[in-house]
Amino acid sequence: MSTLPAREGYRLWAPSYEAETVVSFLERRAVEALGVPTARRRLLDVGCGTGRRLHDADAATVVGVDVTPEMLAIAPAQLALAAGDVRALPLADASFDVVWCRLVVGHLRELDAAYAELARVCVPGGTVVVTDLAAEAAAAGHRRTFRDASGTVQELEHHVHAAHAHVEAASHAGLALAAHRRAVVDASVEPLYAAAGRLDRFAEQRGLPLVLALAFRRHAR
């Protein structure tokens, strides 16, 4: 199967994107387990997609940025959204207390430019949260796929970044690792495998780390 560039893939996935998947379910749990508070903070979600993680954010202000207009078009009108690339954010330096970048950087071949931008827009002492498909999942054959409107399975271009590659790129950008979690396939996601008609894969993948979640602190000046 040939892979689609992210921008094209998410254009096609946008109409059905909000249906929770095994990856998105485990990702949410992993981010919650990091325990990074957003209440009364200025929160930025880079690669926010449809803004689904911002719907119930308890932050003082929330801003979402994404490169795919069709994803942003689905977000609720009251969200503050901007089109932009994680490697060149249209935002001022040090303007957010918490910066999320969830399930985005796996679509990039190189991490450094993304981490440099995530760090730049975060205040010194603030937190950057990044999630990615775990390298173990990719090694076990897991791919970023979805069904388009015609029911065809499509695969998105995706690059494997080991945890140490994230930590190194973050460190170049002035970010220090503060916490990390790996979300593993367990009984909580069995119903999602069942709904997709893939209980065979559940048996194979049980115990496999699927999502890596990292929290970094930006060095105080």
**Interface contacts to ligand SAM, rule CB under 6 A:** 6, 10, 47-49, 52-53, 66-68, 71, 85-86, 102-104, 107
CB of 9 to ligand SAM, least distance (A): 8
Nearer to ligand SAM, 10 or 193 (CB): 10
Cα–Cα distance measured from residue 79 to residue 130, given in angstroms and rounded to the nearest whole number: 21
Write the CA distances from 88 to 6, 26, 40, 136, integer angstroms.
16, 28, 26, 29
Separation of alpha carbons 67 and 86, rounded Å = 8
Residues paired with residue 209 on neighbouring β-strands, in sequence order? 184
Q: Which is nearer to ligand SAM, 114 or 208 (CB)?
A: 114
Task: Determine how many CB atoms are found less than 10 A away from the CB of residue 203.
Answer: 10
Give the residue nearest to ligand SAM (CB): 49
If DSSP codes are grouped into helix, strand and coil, which group holds residue 104? coil
Closest approach of Cβ 71 to ligand SAM, in Å? 4
Amino acid making up residue 165: A
Q: Closest separation between CB of residue 53 and ligand SAM, Å?
A: 5
Nearer to ligand SAM, 58 or 125 (CB): 58
Nearer to ligand SAM, 82 or 177 (CB): 82
Q: Can you count the helices (H) and strands (E) in the chain?
A: 8, 10
| Nearer Cβ to ligand SAM (165/206) | 165
Closest separation in Å from C-beta 84 to ligand SAM: 7
**Shortest Å, Cβ 167 to ligand SAM:** 20
Tokens 């995706």 locate to 158
